[in-house]
Amino acid sequence: MSNLNKIALQILSNGKGILAADESTATMTNRLDSVGVHSNEMNRLLFRETLFSSLSMKECIGGVILYDETIKQKTSTGKTIPEFINSTGSLTGIKVDTGAKMLAGSKQEKITEGLDGLRERLKSYYELGARFTKWRGVYSISEKYPSKLAISANAHALARYAALVQEAGMVPIIEPEVLMDGNHSASDCFNKTSEVIKKCFEELVLNNIDLKGIILKPNMILSGTNSSEKISAEEIAELTLECLKNNVPSSVPGIAFLSGGQTEIEAVENLNSINIKNNTDFIMTFSYGRALQQSALKFWSKDINNIIGTQEIFDHRAKMCSLAAQGKWSKNLENSK
């Protein structure tokens, strides 16, 4: 077993998943503004430290993805954030792309940037304590999109990123996100997501990536947010599993789904259905941001010094996600809080 494979399995195994706490300063400011909390470095750190010191970190969270600001901060106890996260048994990850910009040659689509200087940044992040990384490619669905250009350009960027990350001794999260926005059907999402993931793995193989040392972070197969079509969690699970079985090589150790605009309950119910029906060798778990944090953030905003109350809310969400990662979640357990 390679060291990269060990890292990936440590993050994903035993019902654990990933807390995506890698919101940029601008995104975190929007989140805090939405609940009436002033966004400054101290408040951003206070909220994140509250989550990182929760009881569920040891049982439910195998990895935490950070933003550049956070990985360089220290906790109230004087430990660096990576030291603090590692003390819970979780591993530290870092978002390394610099965001999605308009794709030249396509008026409506985006390409993720950040390859310039990445080798040097990865070296410094490794020294700070990071052992895995994240890069997100985004694709919109319509009759015309995603175009072959967007699919190819983003797959190429993801593969070049992955090669540099593995060279630096870290596990790359490969995140091709086909967005929920639009009125497309689940069938459209299935076809487009299949095309996107297939192209990603073609590029990863071409770039000599050790597929046992990556984590795939895809969207689930869902109808568009404006679609009149409503499909059940069971149908979502069947379509998602079929898409992944058809397009993801069996050597990949695990898949950590993004929540991508789903509610907290939808994100756990759909993950639970996927795990109940999972007839693959892939670990199927979560890499959630809002679906893990939103309820805790709303509660915390009423009194930012109510640490224990905020942690109780977060612990319940983390526990529900962990149960869903094992196919053991239920509405009764959800409502038992």
For 121-148, what is the mean pLDDT? 97
Active site residue 175: yes
Write down all domains in the chain, each with its CATH number in brackets.
3-334 (3.20.20.70)
Interatomic CA distance for residues 1 and 292, integer angstroms: 31
- Active-site option among 175, 177, 203, 334: 175
* Per-residue pLDDT reduced to its tens digit, 70-110: 999 999 999 999 999 999 999 999 999 999 999 999 989 99
% pLDDT > 70, the chain: 99
Summarize the confidence of residues 200-228 as an average pLDDT: 97
Annotated active-site residue 217? The verdict is yes
CA 246, 248, 253, 258 torsion: positive or negative? Answer: negative
**Catalytic pick among 217, 264, 319, 334:** 217
Distance in angstroms (rounded) separating the CA atoms of residues 101 and 273: 35
Spacing of C-alpha 71 from chain mean position: 17
Q: What is the mean pLDDT of residues 11-38?
A: 96
Q: What is the pTM of this model?
A: 0.97
- Is the confidence at residue 337, as pLDDT, over 80? no
**Beta carbons of 271 and 334 less than 8 angstroms apart:** no
Phi-psi sector, 88: left (phi>0), alpha (psi -120 to 50), beta: alpha
